[in-house]
Chains A and B, each alone.
Chain A
Amino acid sequence: MEWLNIVIRTTFLENMVLAYFLGMCSYLAISRQISAAFGLGLAVIFVETLTVPLNWVLKKYFLDPGALAWLHPAFAQVDVSFLTFLVYIATIASAVQLVEMVVERFFPALYNALGIFLPLITVNCAILGASLFMNERDYTFGESVAFGFGAGLGFFLAIVLLASIRYKIRYSHVVAPLRGLGIAFILTALLGIAFLSFAGIQL
């Protein structure tokens, strides 16, 4: 039940994109095509569900102050938490590599549509952000799985919604200077207002 709460909260209330405005670059760039948005959303769900628990394990048994004591009692004083960012990014990069290979092998059309943005998930701040939030909030292992999945689902929902709206307004007579990226930013703001309806819900 606690896990379900976390999934709902991170998907709707604390949406990575619409509440924290993380992961904007791929969110805005890939939302031109609904099918590509679906693909990227699924990839982000996969990567986040994988990396957040993985990073949790690394944090628990490697990064936390004194976490290395399980190797040898002499390591109880060692604190390698200054490596946190490096380790998290390395985990994410390898997970993304995995996704990239799978997508290239089995969904070549999607691979071409995503282009450079698939490897760039590595530096997608929504994904590093999820790991860092996990770091801050002292989740248990189960909660970190739920959190990773919820964060990915939130990104998926946001990007698919934006893509479908952009698909709908493709023939709209948008003010010339705002065509493309500008109107996408304004749509993001409108989506953010709509998602504010969940703000303040206590679960």
Chain B
Amino acid sequence: MDAPRRPWIHRVVNRLTRPLWNMLQRVKKPFLPGGRLHRLYPLYEAIETFLFQPPLTTPRSGGVHIRAGNDLKRLMITVVIALIPPTLFGIWNIGHQFYVAQGQWVGLTEGFLPKVLKGLEVFLPMLIVSYAVGGTIEVLFAIIRRHPVSEGFLVTGLLIPLIMPPTIPLWILAIATAFAVIFGKEIFGGTGMNVVNTALLARAFVFFAYPTVISGDAVWVVPPVDGFTKATPLAAAVISGADALSGREYAPYGFSDLFWGWIPGSIGETCKPAILLGALLLLATGVASWRIMLGMLLGGAFMAWLFNIVGGTPLMQVPWTYHLVMGGFLFGLVYMATDPVTAATTNPGKWIYGFLAGAFAMIIRVVNPAYPEGVMLAILLMNVTAPLIDYLVLRFYVRRRLTYG
């Protein structure tokens, strides 16, 4: 059978990247079995398969009926691409909050360049620390345990700074990353074997070990002066409920502000359109499960609506539509809950998992005064519950088969 003629773009890219490929092949020899640097083969392999198609493919003559150009590496890179919009917005927003706090360039379109530069000044070190620490650990484990380095950490390493406040000390970020990568992932065998979402574990670690750097009113904006505080919409709503959001005390936290995201908060979580853009890509490529996303949205909306009816504390009175755009709910829903490794894997299980994650997020946020941000903990809780959900769903399937023959 003739190989189908490849589209012209393939040929152009092929021609352009040929020298790089040749170079890689030239230096490959010492890394192969018997070579001097064979122990470092995972490192070589990581670079080669990051740039080019992995050499291991199912042969066409192998009788395989389903073929897709997808594999673990492309799956993970898709998530990284989907994370770009919230990242870019987050960088701008760091600078925006910084200058607004000074009373300078309050308008959204003013001072674009200084704001971005300020944002980069804060965000890039965080990203570098997270990638350097996590990447080093990952590569060390890969070399010692001889498993391939995968792009999984590109996702985790980008997610970790995105769910931290911009003022977090870099050494805490480094410790949290190291803890999460070692105890959350590598000791279980690396990518695809972890039980809880690695990035969330890093955040939970900071949350419980160093609560002062990740909660309260002083950490969400890079302070122009010492002791500067500004509450997030969520923290404001804990005190005064919907009043805070209608713009009396903490102007301007209206619905559109929460939606468009020029508000203080964790770096990546604020801008909902950017997150939805990422969600669109994840759904279109089938990387994330729409069942989990929809289930979590329904669970969160239902629970918040239920609290609206009860309406005891200020936070219970916040309309459910606000709850969906406040805090990290949407970010967690799109990028965290849908992590295919830690989520439930059966289809009914995904619905249950998503729904409960949304419901628990609202319960923890509203009922637990200590943690207004419940999304992280709700998803962690569902991560550890997912295997049980899957088990029960499978048991149910087996029993149904036995009954109906």
Restricting to B384-400, which residues have a CB under 8 Å from any CB of A?
384-385, 387-388, 390-391
Restricting to B168-209, which residues have a CB under 8 Å from any CB of A?
183-184, 186-190, 193, 195-196, 201, 204-205, 208
Q: How far is the CB of B312 from chain A (nearest CB, A)?
A: 12
Q: How far is the CA of A161 from the CA of B34 in the complex (A)?
A: 45
Q: Chain B at the A interface: mostly helix, strand, loop or mixed? A: helix
Chain B residue numbers with a CB within 8 Å of A197 are 360, 364, 368, 371, 374, 377-378, 380-381
Q: How far is the CA of A172 from the CA of B184 in the complex (A)?
A: 13
Chain A residue numbers with a CB within 8 Å of B187 are 174-175, 178, 183, 186
A/B pair count, beta carbons within 8 Å: 87
* Interface contact A194-B387, CB-CB below 8 Å: no
Chain B residue numbers with a CB within 8 Å of A202 are 369
Chain A residue numbers with a CB within 8 Å of B118 are none
Q: How far is the CA of A190 from the CA of B364 in the complex (A)?
A: 18
Q: How far is the CA of A164 from the CA of B374 in the complex (A)?
A: 24
Q: Does B367 contact A (CB under 8 A)?
A: yes
* Interface contact A194-B193, CB-CB below 8 Å: no
Chain B residue numbers with a CB within 8 Å of A186 are 183, 187
Q: Does B11 contact A (CB under 8 A)?
A: no
Which of B147, B188, B377 is close to A174, meaning CB atoms less than 8 Å apart? B188
Size band of the B side of the interface? 35 or more
Q: How far is the CA of A198 from the CA of B387 in the complex (A)?
A: 20
Q: Does A193 contact B (CB under 8 A)?
A: yes
Q: Does A167 contact B (CB under 8 A)?
A: yes
Contact A200 B189, CB 8 Å, known A164-B387, A193-B208, A193-B380: no
Restricting to B204-244, which residues have a CB under 8 Å from any CB of A?
204-205, 208
Restricting to A51-70, which residues have a CB under 8 Å from any CB of B?
none
Q: How far is the CB of B175 from chain A (nearest CB, A)?
A: 15
Q: How far is the CB of A54 from chain B (nearest CB, A)?
A: 31
Q: How far is the CB of B366 from chain A (nearest CB, A)?
A: 10
Q: Does A116 contact B (CB under 8 A)?
A: no
Chain A residue numbers with a CB within 8 Å of B145 are 173, 175
Which of A161, A194, A200 is close to B388, meaning CB atoms less than 8 Å apart? A161
* Interface contact A168-B188, CB-CB below 8 Å: no
Mask of A154-170 contacts with B, CB within 8 angstroms, 1/0? 00000011001101110
Which of B201, B204, B370 is close to A199, meaning CB atoms less than 8 Å apart? B370
Which of B147, B190, B384 is close to A190, meaning CB atoms less than 8 Å apart? B384
Which of B190, B367, B383, B387 is close to A201, meaning CB atoms less than 8 Å apart? B367
Q: Does A125 contact B (CB under 8 A)?
A: no
Sort A-B residue pairs by CB-CB distance and give the 4 closest, nearest first: A173-B189, A197-B377, A200-B370, A168-B387
